[in-house]
Chain A
Amino acid sequence: MARLTYILKRILQMIPVLFVVIVLIFVMIRLIPGDPARLMLGETAVEADVEALREAMGLNEPYTTQFAIFFKNLLHFDFGNSLLYKTSCIDLVKERLPLTVSLTVVATLFSLLISIPLGFVAGLHKDKASDQAIRISALAAISMPTFWVGLLLMIAFSVKIRIFPAGGWGTTPLEHLQGLILPGIAQALMTAALLMRNLRNSVVDISRMDYVDFAVSKGVSTRRVRSAYIMKNSLISTITLLSTRITYMLGGSVVIETVFSLPGCGKLLVDAIFARDYAMVQCMVFIFALIVLLVSLITDIIYSFIDPRITL
């Protein structure tokens, strides 16, 4: 019950945050030099046509009027039409959001699959050969740029050994999954390395705690010490790190999406910014902000399950 109230309270708190985000992005995107009408018609278009288009797009109105119109439509979840694509922004985003979110989910899963076992092994066998090997590979993974890893994976597994498709997403859910594996791994590498280091340090710290010593001397089996005492406690800081990394992966998806030709949101946002597509940028930033807030809410809820000391 308390949890439910907490969730509701947090959702209500999101509203003022989102409002501030909206105002900020509205102002910032218009402050950047560059006129959407001119960019749409191209460098080689005549001044008269550019002016006519500005008028038609409603860009000559005062900012307050533009914001009033925008806010009124926002309440109906209507972000207006994209200046570039001429269709409803929210529809365009709805088409592409599933891919970006799936990619982030797949990447998160891969990073957990890689980092949790390896982090534990490294932490429990501190300073032994396995620990050194794992830490060195973590360093290597952090040093490699994502797009380069992506290209290497594509060359190895799509061209030389033809297991995965060379980019693209396919049509059926199975093809979707296949298309997301290589990008997911490329995207996950850095996060996996960071999580692994964090988890390893956590495990090392917790292993030295008094209560672990006490449990061992009490005669608790090694297996139970590891799962109940060490594992649960070390995960907390790792989960915090994971939540910030998810935000980063969501925003940084454009690089992987470009390399693997995935029709996701990242590229949509970057193109919109370059074209000064005000409506689209506002829509996407709002949605990303919403997702980030939701992710942080979910993280807080997970804390409450893992750590009984935390009451919501």
Chain B
Amino acid sequence: MKRRTTKALSLLLASASILALLAGCGGGGGTAENSNSPAPSDSSAPSGETTYADTIVIGDNTEPKNLDPDQSWGAAEARFSCFVYEGLVREDADGNIIPLLATDWKISEDGTVYTFNLKPDVKFSDGTPVTGEDWIWSLERARDNPESNSRTVASNIVSIEAPDDATLVITLDSPVASFLANCCKWNMVVKSKAHYEAVGAEGFLTQPMGTGPYAVTEWKKGEYIQCVANEYYHVEGQPYTKNLTYKIITDDNTRLLQLQSGDIDIMGMVPVNMMAQIDSDPNLTAAAYTGSQIRFLVINCADEVTGKKEVRQALDYATDKQAIVDMVANGYGKPVSTYVSNIHGDLHNSELADRGPDIEKAKELLTQAGYPDGLTLKINITSGNTIYENIATVLQSQWAAAGISLEIEPLESGTLVESLGAGNYQLTILQWTDSTPDPSDISAYECRYSDSFQWYSGVQDQEIEDAYMATISETDPAKRAELFWTLQELVYERTNIVPLFQADWAYGYSSKIEGISVTPFNKINVAELKKAN
């Protein structure tokens, strides 16, 4: 009997010691520079001077599907691509358009010809100079590649000419007021034609070649993308840090643990309920940046009940948007009353105000619509999305005061999208993040029936559609602002969407990081990042 137990115990002990041995080998996770991340160690500093690390690790929650800007991209791809690819112009931290590879530009009287003066001596990360031919090929591909989901920004381009390597002339088929903003989009970047010809279409998906501050050296699918500084970068002295590792850690808790243990230096896409924890850690900094991401209550105007404007407006009156910001976004955001974000400056209609919370007015409108004793509505949201679920729950309790009983039905995302397209819903919650510094994208989605059924409203409002069409070609900024204000008033009146709140981008990073800033489109300025030792 004793020997049996001893044997069992010794087996357990043996395995435990093997484990310990393995853990000990190779240093394990002991040092801050985790042996799992392929980064060289940092240099040691003589006392008194601040020296900087030669590697920074960024942790994100979604892996880019591919690195070819002319494919179907989403937010995850856009976040990474700005490290590698650049275009003529870009947006700054306030959402204004500033020069990047173009130094200045002239627009013709009729608004159809754009002449860009290009920065001289710009090279790709392999040292080859950027030529006019690269620009022409890149922008034509942005316009023509059928796999791309961003072709519309370039669809008005009729011809592109490069009379010399320092000038680019783009001719449009009609005046498009948002064209300069469209040039900030992730696909309007210069790609190396020679490189594409060398690696082929499939190679181009994983081996990008651009003029950005970093170049991709290794992509281990599902784990990380390793980048090294572009030695030919056109801004003297930048990027400040030699190596950049873009680690993909899907689980939010794991990503936070890695930030706390020092395995990653910058954590993106931080769930707002973790910000307090990051803030209280003396080695970490929690920072929120103004974002262009707005969440909307989307209403079906073809439905028997929600088709009545009084009902829709009643919902707006019954909603307390500040409470939603406080409870769902932990205060990291602000309520919005119009669908155009305030980062668009003069085009944002600042006179429109929140209707709610005004329960009495909501009840009045419901009575007018024929529901004096309240009514039951159903909201379908994407399952698994905690933010949408929280918003729906808050709305449910707010609307109960006005006699509206809300049923919440989560649906799997693929199924939900199908129901929306078929008009098979009453209410849903969706979000929009601008990717260009102009409201033309979101306006097209809200106002063009053929694009999206006017944001799944199911009923074509011709007045709104015409008002939108007028903004496309109006090149005078003052007149365009007036047109946009009118358009926003019309949408505000129609209430087929209720803008709820604009969310900040939440980041957590090591206190040793210097020089970090994030644009409203969630792009980190990697060229200026430094990490003190």
A interface with B by C-beta (< 8 Å): 32-35, 38-49, 52-53, 56, 84-87, 92, 95-96, 113-114, 117-118, 120-121, 124, 151, 154-155, 158-159, 162-172, 174-175, 177-179, 181, 222-223, 226, 258-264, 267-268, 274-276
Contacts and interface: CB of A to CB of B under 8 A. Distances in A.
Nearest to B261: A159
Interface residues of B, number: 68
Contacts of A162: 28-30, 261
Given A117-B12, A120-B4, A177 B418 contact: no
B11 A117 contact: yes
Given A170-B36, A259-B254, A47 B450 contact: yes
A124 B4 contact: yes
Given A113-B11, A154-B257, A167 B249 contact: yes
B205 A118 contact: no
Given A39-B417, A84-B65, A163 B23 contact: yes
B253 interface: yes
B106 interface: no
Contacts of A48: 450-451
A181 B253 contact: no
Contacts of B23: 163-164, 178, 181
B28 A167 contact: no
A124 B1 contact: yes
25 contacts: A34-B413, A35-B418, A47-B452, A84-B65, A85-B66, A113-B15, A117-B11, A151-B253, A162-B30, A162-B261, A164-B29, A165-B29, A165-B34, A166-B258, A166-B263, A167-B263, A169-B36, A171-B38, A181-B23, A226-B4, A259-B251, A261-B254, A263-B222, A274-B413, A276-B414
B163 interface: no
A32 B25 CA distance: 48
A42 B76 CA distance: 13
Given A45-B149, A178-B22, 4 more contacts: A42-B74, A223-B3, A259-B253, A276-B414
B252 to A, nearest CB: 10
A87 B7 CA distance: 52
Given A121-B4, A124-B1, A166-B29, A267 B451 contact: no
Interface centre among B65, B202, B254, B260 (most CB of A within 10 A): B254
B295 to A, nearest CB: 13
B105 interface: no
B158 to A, nearest CB: 20
B257 A43 contact: no
B13 to A, nearest CB: 10
Interface string B182-224: 0000000000000000000010010000000000000011110
Given A48-B450, A162-B261, A181-B19, A32 B414 contact: yes
Interface in B113-161: 146-147, 149, 151-152
Contacts of B35: 165, 170, 175
Contacts of A172: 26
A86 B202 contact: yes
Interface in B385-420: 412-415, 417-420
Contacts of A38: 417-418, 421
Contacts of B15: 113
B41 interface: no
A166 B257 contact: yes
Contacts of B147: 53, 56, 86
B418 A258 contact: no
B8 interface: yes
A268 B65 CA distance: 12
B445 interface: yes
Nearest to A185: B19
Given A32-B414, A178-B26, A44 B450 contact: no
A46 B26 contact: no
Interface in B37-57: 37-38
A175 B253 contact: no
Contacts of A260: 254
B251 A258 contact: yes
B146 A223 contact: no
Nearest to A261: B249
Nearest to B432: A44
A155 B257 CA distance: 7
Nearest to A231: B4
